[in-house]
Amino acid sequence: MMNKEQYIESLRQYKPIVYLNGRLVESVVDDPMTRPHVNSAAVTYELAFDPMYEELMTTTSHLTGKKINRFTSVHQSTDDLVKKVKMLRMIGQKTGTCFQRCVGFDAMNSTFITTFNIDRECGTDYHERFKKYLEYVQENDLMIAGSMTDPKGDRSKKPSAQADPDLFVHIVERREDGIVIRGAKAHQTGMINSHEMLILPTTNLGEEDQDYAVACAIRVDAPGVVHLFGRQTNDNRRLDGDIDTGNSEYAIVGGETLTVLNDVFVPWDRVFMCGEYKFAQEYVSTFAAYHRQNYGGCKVGLADVIIGSAAAMAEYNGVKASHVRDKITEMINMAETMYNCSLGCSCQGTKTEAGSYYVNTLLANTVKLNCTRYMYEISRLAHDIAGGFIATLPYEADYRNPETKGYIDKYFSANPDFSTEERIRMGRLLENMTGGTALAESMHGAGSPEAMKIMLYRESNIDHKKALAKKLAKIDKITKKDEEKDYVE
């Protein structure tokens, strides 16, 4: 395993092409706009060596028998699924932001299952290829960026029907030594400070779309790969000091990119799907369920910090009203509801034929759907408690200026037990954790709300529920099909 310092130094060996605000980034480790994202991911390496968190952060490889970072593992039990959720909440509490390794973690676990299923039906050897690749990832403790989302173009059309074929990643050449792919992946969390990306299909595919049925692994700095770093709420504040960012050491969110693939070559030993379009939907659904499981972990960790900052702001403001306690209690209830859903889908997980463990899909989708609502409501209540103070604070530079600092200290003071600077720092933390970019990720990360609703309806077994109602209502027209649904889910 790598420690924090080794991870940071390992990134210096990679030279990804990254554009940010009209310029080329020379080093993702040293650039002040990207270093906080490196710091966030580095926590996942640092905590693996902390004896207090060893049980959550590490496990034993089922491939080599060696101790590995949990983020490179394949789940071997429901206990592994539960520990994943607990780990994500804990890291979220410590960083107050996205720590980026979850997407690759889920991509590897869904690839482990899907390659096994493809091989079983098609006689391919993708699963063995992937196991060898996974062993390489574990041996080197690599950070993998899971790459599923394509730009998608016209949402009413399938990939092969798009006006521009590159709006979905596709195979443009099959060679004796590998394949060549073209296109782009959008909203790519943690991409520029990852070591590799694992490309997955993004939607259900038909026979006409088989060139879009591709999964493979690529270095983030492979020839032909270009990254455009995404803008985040208040991102330039990190250039101005450490107060206005609210969380100066760590990133605002996951450092998402638009990653362009300009005819990128991939050798066969790194190709895990090549034209098997019938398995695309299974791939997507498997990944999505794993990723939606996460949100009751990592987002609840962030909610813990937001709740704490709101409670602190009430103290700093000198507010002791009973309605504040009621609002904080409601925030806690929503956070723990999301957490319960994540634990539930993990405890109800099952062993796959590939040998790994998979979450309960129905419950995993309840996690994320609740998150799309509750994180907004938690943020709204936090704003309510904190007051308008957090929205109109002067610049940090004015607070540092001797000519104006006295005015700010005087007129933004509140509870005399706390300094004005404490009040400002806490307000800025709350502002930045509940701002536009962070909330949008809570809504659309791991799929937009309608995707969860589709899966919930599909997985909920409505016919069985109707059969239960018919029996109790003593309706005679109970079909044989209904009788076959008579079981406890």
d(CA 470, CA 479): 10
Q: Which of 46, 196, 256, 396 is catalytic?
A: 256
189 counts as catalytic: yes
Q: Which of 291, 345, 357, 372 is catalytic?
A: 291
Q: Which 8-state DSSP code applies to residue 394?
A: P
d(CA 195, CA 145): 8
With residue 433 as reference, give the H or E element that holds it.
Answer: helix 420-433
276 counts as catalytic: no
Q: Which of 59, 98, 114, 357 is catalytic?
A: 98
Q: Which of 196, 276, 431, 441 is catalytic?
A: 441
Contact between 38 and 29 under an 8 Å Cβ cutoff? The reply is yes
Q: Which of 72, 114, 124, 189 is catalytic?
A: 189
98 counts as catalytic: yes
Query: Which residues pair with residue 282 across a beta bridge?
Result: none
d(CA 262, CA 192): 17
291 counts as catalytic: yes
295 counts as catalytic: yes
Tokens of 248: 């100066």
d(CA 343, CA 161): 41
Residue 189, marked binder: yes
Which ranges in 241-350 belong to alpha helices (H)? 280-317, 322-347
Q: Which of 274, 298, 341, 345 is catalytic?
A: 298
Q: Which of 133, 295, 357, 374 is catalytic?
A: 295
Burial class (CB in 10 A: 0-12, 13-18, 19+), 382: buried
280-317 and 436-444 helices cross at what angle (nearest 10)? 140
Q: Which of 102, 274, 341, 345 is catalytic?
A: 102
Q: What angle do CA 237, 239, 244 make, to 5 degrees?
A: 35
* 177 CB-side CA count, 13 A: 1
256 counts as catalytic: yes
Among 299, 432, 450, 264, smallest CA distance to 371 is for 299
Supply the residues annotated as catalytic. 98, 102, 189, 256, 291, 295, 298, 441
As annotated, the binding site for FAD includes: 189
As annotated, the binding site includes: 189
